[in-house]
């Protein structure tokens, strides 16, 4: 039997979203989480701190969705009006929750600070709502109206995430039955989106469950396979043969499964081969190391980075031969190789990675923005790759990071053959 999946809508509240001062990353986090329990997010929205427009957006969402998750506007200041707007949308009045009021008072007392009386408005919830205890200082709540569950969570990402995990997901999982959506990715580096799509066009054509889509950015292109079924194993069984066919077609261009980023795949290969790693970075300014240390436990294999932004630092800190800089410049395959070797030598690691290039917008050493060289040194063997960066400065730096990691990955895997 195939159950109908719950339909959900995610609404961000806050004029800062509409002014572009922050990106709505909460919508992304919530969508990812709801997908794992088989809830279909069909709409995202954002509105400013305006009572009428919030109320209208919530009414529309209640009409068309089974679940609405609202973030933001639950703080103590006068522009925090989400609770009032939701109360209006569900035709109820605001009532003070005395237990929450006590928690808020206690928070200030415990810190020996005086509580502005206005903070107690955070304990005012639509009548009949279920309070969600604060993770930081703002409480959340949820309320049911016309068979739709409306969740209100703070806009601060980590407070939102904790409530999502502890309250929203269990509550919705209990309603949605066993329907699940499972997504798997096949990640590639250095292939364009069109080339990737063309390479597997016939496999894509033949599919409806899983559905297949393409995502590109930062020098990577990924295939996303999304299957729906009653249980996770059933969804995985639908994906498995299609993913296998795609991986067989792409060969080494498809990164190893199990990790969601090039940094994650590389880290897992380095760990699996007992290789220690260091980097020497020019145009990425530390970003390559930052990617390798995003997840906990990187100290298992990652020693550190030499960020050598100036030519002098390349010479003095990473030990690049002045003759190389003289003959080829800092933006060259030769310099990239010397940097990778330097990183491995200085940190005494098995692997050294490097990046150098022109992130733009101006030219450098007479070279165009987008001219990027990455190199890897793996136990005595070194290789460089010329990569074409594209897009803005931030994207070019990502292209460099991902290309360096992919080059080292291929060298390690090839050495194992």
Site for a second copy in 376-415 (CB under 8 A): 390-395, 397
Q: Which are the contacts of 106, defined by CB distance < 8 A and separation ≥ 6?
A: none
Compute how many residues bind a second copy; rule: CB under 8 A: 103
Site string for a second copy, 244-283 (x = CB under 8 A): -----------------------------------x-x-x
Rounded CA-CA distance 43/33 in Å is 15
Q: In whole angstroms, how close is the CB of 66 to a second copy at the nearest point?
A: 15
Hey, which residues between 153 and 192 contact a second copy (CB under 8 A)?
156-158, 161, 181, 183
| Given 5, 6, 12, 87, the residue binding a second copy (CB under 8 A) | 12
Nearer to a second copy (CB atom), residue 78 or residue 416: 78
Q: In whole angstroms, how close is the CB of 322 to a second copy at the nearest point?
A: 16
| Given 106, 170, 217, 272, the residue binding a second copy (CB under 8 A) | 217
By CB under 8 A, which span of 26-34, 172-180, 244-252, 407-415 interacts with a second copy? 26-34
Hey, which residues between 318 and 337 contact a second copy (CB under 8 A)?
none
Tokens of 107: 């928070």
Buried b (16+ CB within 10 A) or exposed e, 36-61: ebbbbbeeebbbbbbeeebbebbbbb
By CB under 8 A, which span of 8-16, 143-151, 164-172, 372-380 interacts with a second copy? 8-16
The answer to whether 229 touches 413, Cβ cutoff 8 Å, is no
Interaction of residue 23 with a second copy, rule CB under 8 A: yes
| Given 3, 96, 310, 413, the residue binding a second copy (CB under 8 A) | 310
Rounded CA-CA distance 329/365 in Å is 7
The answer to whether 136 touches 152, Cβ cutoff 8 Å, is no
Q: What are phi and psi of 129, to 5 degrees?
A: -75, 155
Kind plus residue range of the DSSP H or E element containing 279? strand 277-281
Nearer to a second copy (CB atom), residue 178 or residue 214: 214
Collapse the DSSP code of 251 into the 3-class scheme (helix H, G, I; strand E, B; otherwise coil) and give the result.
helix
């Amino acid at each position: 039997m195939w159950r109908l999946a719950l339909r959900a809508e995610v609404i961000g509240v806050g004029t800062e979203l509409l002014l572009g001062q922050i990106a709505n990353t909460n919508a992304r986090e919530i969508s990812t989480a709801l997908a794992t329990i088989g809830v279909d997010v069909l709409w995202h929205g954002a509105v400013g701190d305006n009572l009428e427009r919030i109320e209208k957006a919530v009414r529309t969402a209640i009409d068309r969705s089974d679940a609405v998750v609202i973030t933001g506007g639950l703080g103590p200041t006068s522009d925090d009006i989400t609770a009032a707007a939701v109360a209006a949308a569900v035709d109820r009045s605001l009532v003070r929750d005395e237990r929450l009021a006590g928690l808020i008072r206690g928070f200030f007392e415990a810190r020996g600070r005086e509580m502005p009386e206005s903070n107690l408005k955070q304990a005012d919830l639509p009548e009949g709502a279920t309070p969600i205890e604060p993770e930081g200082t703002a409480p959340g709540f949820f309320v049911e109206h016309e068979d739709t569950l409306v969740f209100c969570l703070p806009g601060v990402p980590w407070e939102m995430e904790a409530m999502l995990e502890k309250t929203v997901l269990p509550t919705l999982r209990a309603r949605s039955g066993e329907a699940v959506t499972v997504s798997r990715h096949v990640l590639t580096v250095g292939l364009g989106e069109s080339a990737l799509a063309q390479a597997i066009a016939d496999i894509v054509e033949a599919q409806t469950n899983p559905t297949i889509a393409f995502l590109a950015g930062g020098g990577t292109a990924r295939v996303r396979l999304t299957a729906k079924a009653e249980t996770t194993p059933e969804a995985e069984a639908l994906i498995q043969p299609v993913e296998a066919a795609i991986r067989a077609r792409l060969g080494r261009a498809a990164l190893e499964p199990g990790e969601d980023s090039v940094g994650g795949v590389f880290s897992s290969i380095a760990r699996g081969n007992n290789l220690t790693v260091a980097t020497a970075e020019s145009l990425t300014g530390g970003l390559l190391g930052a990617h390798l240390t995003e997840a906990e436990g990187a100290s298992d294999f990652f020693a550190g980075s030499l960020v050598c932004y100036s030519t002098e630092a390349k010479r003095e800190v990473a030990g690049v031969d002045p003759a190389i800089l003289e003959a080829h410049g800092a933006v060259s395959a030769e310099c990239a190789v010397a940097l990778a070797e330097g990183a491995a030598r200085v940190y005494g690691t098995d692997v050294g990675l490097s990046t150098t290039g022109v992130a733009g917008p101006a030219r450098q050493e007479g070279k165009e923005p987008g001219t990027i060289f990455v190199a890897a040194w793996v136990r005595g063997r070194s290789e460089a790759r010329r990569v074409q960066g594209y897009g803005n400065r931030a994207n070019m730096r990502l292209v460099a990071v991902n290309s360096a990691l992919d080059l080292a990955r291929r060298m390690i895997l090839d050495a194992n053959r």
